[in-house]
Structure 1
Amino acid sequence: MLALSAHGILPTVDYAIFADTGWEPAAVYAHLDRLEKEVAAPAVIPLLRVSSGNIRHDALDPNHRFASMPLYILNQDGKQGMTRRQCTGEYKIKPIKKQVRALLGYPHPQRIPDGVFVEQWVGISTDEFHRAKDADVRYMRNRHPLIELGWSRDDCVRYLTSLGLADTPKSSCLGCPFHGNAQWRHIRDTSPAEWDDVVAFDAAIRQGNARANASGNPLLGQAYLHRSRLPLDQAPIDHITAAERAARQPQLDDDTDPEALEEGVVDGCSPWTCRGETEPAQDGFGLAS
């Protein structure tokens, strides 16, 4: 959408906003720098980077109230569960709303007058039109330009390729539990330092929420980044069975689905389009909180 706006196919936007969780792959930050230099700046579109903190540091800080990631839990009785996904709201949506309020001139807790709002573009393509929703606050009104253009994901890829941006990486935390095996293998095989980082984080969360531990809460289960509920450096990220391969479908959301197992969340992490909607088995990294 930024490129479409910069090149006059869509109206020129006033700002582009990137919500930084502090734990994106290095390739994402490099790509963002390139977009800012080659696409946004020539079109005089300010690219604003906003943040609520570093999600990795916050997760391991016992003094920080952590908005939990959707971790896979193995309970003491052997049952499996997942923690509630709060990270998108805290690390993506919250800082964007804060920035929007500042741009409007009404920072929290000031009341924004009726009729004062921004038009916010959300990058949902026709493949996922059912995810196009209105904003949940009156001062933001969502618009979905890709759907208006009738563009699918493939159309977007072709357009980016025509601009020399075919290597656009997914935006998502390095240690996002919604990664598929292909994404885990890519990190392991292309970036040893980032692989060591996510393996270390996976080991550090095994005993639950750092803040809950510091408070003496009892451990009710163990947390993992991989859906196999095995340590990440032992998880079967190289193994796809013949039955799983034969059973693949074009688009899957179920936790047990082989396509999701391999490819993970297709579109990466976007504030209003994360496909990792799940009901928690229990909150707080599997801890009493």
Structure 2
Amino acid sequence: MQSSTLLTLSAKGIIPRVDYAIFADTGWEPKAVYEHLDRLEEEIAAPAGIPVLRVSAGNIRNDALNPDHRFASMPLHILNQDGRPGMTRRQCTGEYKIKPIKKKVRELLGYPYPNRIPKHVFVEQWVGISTDEFHRAKDADVKYMRNRHPLLDMSWSRADCVRYLTSLGLADTPKSSCLGCPFHGNAQWRQIRDTSPSEWTDVVEFDAAIRQGNARANVTGNKLLGEAFLHRSRVPLSQAPIDHVTSAERAALRISADEADVLENGLEDGCSPWACRGDADALTPDDFGLAT
């Protein structure tokens, strides 16, 4: 939502025109996201002369199931052998979004890796973060990228972004996140199940395939000490309670009202390369019982 707003504001001349827009494709976005991106490119970016560059480090779904491919782990929900819940580390955002974006930026600057970038050469990178998530605004971790947050400069909230896109006929802007992202809420799982049977079949099959962790780890002997699931309930996705969570279930799970909201609606806005809503990075292997 915020990134689409930023691109549209630039294309319409409300803020200066950007040189490029970069979309990091994990290879497993919902069909609605690809359709939205096509529309943005054709109706908004192209008429304004803004190239939309699509970058990728591969297909995250295929890589997870490929025993010959080194895989950056998804934040899977784990049920340990002793019954304790846990979560695997989130490495996918860095591997499938941030790295390919940085690679493309270096190419645009004329200094592809491993060339050293002079201190005076850098790109000003505009990141779509609104006022309701200002705490996610951070400086870049490399000197050749300098982050700026125009929506914060304009004091725009997510609601402002929704109103603006709605006025342009873009009210149906979808969240950008992997089709089988473990951070989905029940509403997102229902949306997939009820509107796209083929995509629902896809995620159910993937959920079953990763029960013992990613294929590469199993082949190399780093097996998961427990079972992995896409849904927070830690039961097979085809059986997960995605239609509603009763008060009794909430009590059994010992979750707060805020946690129940996340269970239903997922993490706000999806997965941004520079402000991923997931908090699994804080976990270590010992926290969720992975074999060492």
Within the alignment, does 1:288 sit opposite 2:291 as a pair? Answer: yes
Shift of 1:218: 4.1
User: Contact 1:222–1:286 at 8 Å: present in 2 too?
Assistant: no
- State how 1:120-269 maps to structure 2 within 5 Å: 120-242=125-247, 252=258, 257-269=259-271
- In the alignment, which of 56, 77, 99 is matched to residue 72 of structure 1? 77
Q: Tell me the amino acid that sits aligned with residue 222 of structure 1.
A: E
Q: Deviations over 1:159-181 (max 9, x none)?
A: 00011100111100000000000
User: Contact 1:212–1:287 at 8 Å: present in 2 too?
Assistant: no
User: Contact 1:93–1:271 at 8 Å: present in 2 too?
Assistant: yes
SS of 2:22's equivalent? strand
- In the alignment, which of 59, 65, 71 is matched to residue 60 of structure 1? 65
Q: Tell me the amino acid that sits aligned with residue 192 of structure 2.
A: I
Shift of 1:286: 5.5
User: Contact 2:24–2:54 at 8 Å: present in 1 too?
Assistant: yes
SS of 2:285's equivalent? coil
Q: Deviations over 1:86-106 (max 9, x none)?
A: 000000100000000000000
Shift of 1:219: 3.9
Specify the alignment match of 1:276 in structure 2: 278
- In the alignment, which of 11, 15, 25 is matched to residue 10 of structure 1? 15
Number of residue-to-residue matches in the alignment: 282
Specify the alignment match of 2:24 in structure 1: 19
Q: Return the alpha-carbon distance in structure 2 between the equivalents of residues 213 and 128 of structure 1.
A: 38
User: Contact 1:70–1:82 at 8 Å: present in 2 too?
Assistant: yes
Structure richer in helix, relative to its length: 2
Shift of 1:282: 2.3
Specify the alignment match of 1:110 in structure 2: 115
Q: Return the alpha-carbon distance in structure 2 between the equivalents of residues 248 and 211 of structure 1.
A: 36
What TM-score, normalized by structure 1, do the two folds share? Answer: 0.94
User: Contact 2:213–2:223 at 8 Å: present in 1 too?
Assistant: no
SS of 1:49's equivalent? strand
Q: Return the alpha-carbon distance in structure 2 between the equivalents of residues 177 and 218 of structure 1.
A: 20
User: Over aligned residue pairs, what C-alpha RMSD do you find?
Assistant: 1.8
Q: Which sits farther off after the overlay, 272-281 or 107-116? A: 272-281
What TM-score, normalized by structure 2, do the two folds share? Answer: 0.93
Q: Tell me the amino acid that sits aligned with residue 154 of structure 2.
A: L
Identity of aligned residues (%): 77
Q: Which runs of 5+ in 1 are unaligned?
A: none
Q: Which runs of 5+ in 2 are unaligned?
A: 1-5
Q: Return the alpha-carbon distance in structure 2 between the equivalents of residues 45 and 220 of structure 1.
A: 48
Q: Return the alpha-carbon distance in structure 2 between the equivalents of residues 7 and 219 of structure 1.
A: 50
Q: Return the alpha-carbon distance in structure 2 between the equivalents of residues 218 and 16 of structure 1.
A: 40
